[in-house]
Every structure is written in C-alpha cells, then in structure tokens.
C-alpha cells in the first residue's frame, strides 16, 4: 500500500504545448533571431525541447551562445504566467484519490509557481517543490529523499508519477522508488519504469 504520490508538473498534470507559444513567445523570438539565422531546423528543435525540458539543459545541449543563455535567463527568471491554463482531463483520476500528494517540478521558481496558481491545483498537494537550476545544484532525487525523511515515508510507501524517463522517473528508480510513466502518445515504449499508462486509471489499484 502506498502512502504518498509525488508528481511532476509539466506534461504530467497539463500539456505544455497548450500554452507554449504564448508563454515562451519572447524566448522563442530570441532563439529564432540567433539560432534560427544559422539553422532553422535546430531552432525549431530547441523550441520543441523547451516544451518538455528546463531551459538550462536545452541551452547547453543545443549550442546556445552565452549571450542567448543570458538573455533567456533574464526573460524567464522573473517571469510569471497569468493566463488561464487547463489540466489534462486525466488528472482528475489523481485528484480524487485520498492520499498524500506532493508536487516536484524543475524550472524557474516564479514561473513554476505561477503555473500552479493558474492551474488552480495548490489545494491538491501537501507541498510543492521547485528544483531551480539557477538557485542550487539540487535535483529531483534530492527532493524525493527530503520528502521521505520529513514525512516518515519508506521507499515502498511512495509512487513517483511523471512523463520523462530521464528526469523524475530516473531519479526515483535510482532511489528504488516505484514509478508510473504517463505516456499518452506511447513515446517511450522501452523506458525502464515500474508501471506505465496512457491515463491514470490504474493508479488507484497500484496504491492499494
């Protein structure tokens, strides 16, 4: 029996693609002006990656110049999104479960918490954590360990839910925590996970 769920935010509770063009409009413009002039396809790929991974990671892997990195951070680190956002309909399956829930997301602190506010999900979680690469070297695994220590959970008590095999899923498995990969488009059929699904209907049975 599980005592707690730890969820990712982006592409786990809501689809980033639904707001990306608006949320990242200024950033996308900067990428097109610099990277797009040299390689339109590279710019398009970088913008796509930004809908699923933190800015700093994408910048390093896609060859952003120091100037583009600096400008991108300036745009994002104090940015708060203030327009309506919608959760995946599937999230209702999680919302109605009577179990402790924690949110652990990576990104810029103000931006991530503004998403939580606009999605109106503050009340669904016992506590929300933002892993901000601009503020510390902490990773999601460190936060998982902290949550267990502060709440008296064992590894067996926890289930980590997310969409990225190389982020929350990886860190949870390294700690021996069970994982559920939310993969509605079957992007990662061979990912190493404990459980997987295109929706959250199986979670109720997993935590019993």
**DSSP secondary structure string, 24-57?**
THHHHHHHHHHHHHH-HHHHHHHHHHTTTS-HHH
Last residue of one domain, picked from the residues 40, 55, 76: 76
Last residue of one domain, picked from the residues 56, 76, 96: 76
- Distance between CA atoms of residues 46 and 32, nearest Å: 10
Do 126 and 181 share a domain, yes or no? yes
- Distance between CA atoms of residues 41 and 26, nearest Å: 19
Q: Taking 80 as the threshold, does the pLDDT of residue 118 lie above it?
A: yes
Mean pLDDT along residues 62-81? 94
CATH of residue 158's domain is: 3.40.50.1000
Do 70 and 158 share a domain, yes or no? no
**Structural domains of the chain, count:** 2
Do 114 and 90 share a domain, yes or no? yes
Per-residue pLDDT tens over the stretch 16-66: 999 999 999 999 999 999 887 778 888 999 999 999 999 999 999 988 999
Domain that holds residue 63: 20-76
Do 50 and 126 share a domain, yes or no? no
| Torsion sign (Cα): 178, 99, 201, 181 | negative
Per-residue pLDDT tens over the stretch 126-165: 999 999 999 999 999 999 999 999 999 999 999 999 999 9
Do 27 and 130 share a domain, yes or no? no
What is the pLDDT, as a whole number, of residue 27? 94
Do 186 and 95 share a domain, yes or no? yes
Angle between helices 140-151 and 168-175 (to 10 degrees): 50
Do 65 and 24 share a domain, yes or no? yes
Per-residue pLDDT tens over the stretch 82-96: 999 999 999 999 999
Do 60 and 136 share a domain, yes or no? no
Do 71 and 150 share a domain, yes or no? no
What is the pLDDT, as a whole number, of residue 34? 86
Do 103 and 68 share a domain, yes or no? no
Do 119 and 192 share a domain, yes or no? yes
Last residue of one domain, picked from the residues 76, 97, 118: 76
Do 48 and 151 share a domain, yes or no? no
């Amino acid at each position: 029996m599980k005592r707690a769920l730890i969820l990712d935010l982006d592409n786990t509770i809501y689809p980033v693609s639904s707001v990306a063009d608006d949320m990242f409009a200024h950033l996308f413009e900067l990428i097109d002006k610099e990277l797009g002039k040299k390689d339109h396809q590279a710019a398009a790929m970088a913008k796509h990656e930004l809908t699923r991974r933190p800015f700093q990671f994408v910048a390093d892997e896609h060859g952003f110049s120091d100037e583009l990195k600096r400008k991108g951070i300036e745009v994002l680190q104090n940015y708060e999104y203030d327009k309506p956002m919608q959760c995946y309909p599937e999230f209702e399956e999680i919302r109605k479960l009577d179990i402790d829930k924690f949110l652990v997301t990576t990104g810029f602190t103000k931006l991530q918490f503004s998403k939580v506010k606009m999605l109106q999900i503050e009340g669904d979680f016992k506590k929300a954590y933002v892993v901000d690469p601009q503020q510390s070297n902490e990773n999601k695994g460190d936060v998982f360990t902290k949550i267990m220590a502060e709440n008296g959970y064992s590894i067996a008590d926890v289930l980590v839910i997310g969409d990225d095999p190389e982020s929350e899923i990886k860190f949870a498995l390294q700690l021996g925590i069970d994982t559920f990969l939310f993969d509605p488009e079957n992007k990662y059929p061979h990912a190493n996970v404990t459980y997987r699904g295109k929706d959250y209907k199986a979670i109720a049975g997993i935590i019993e």
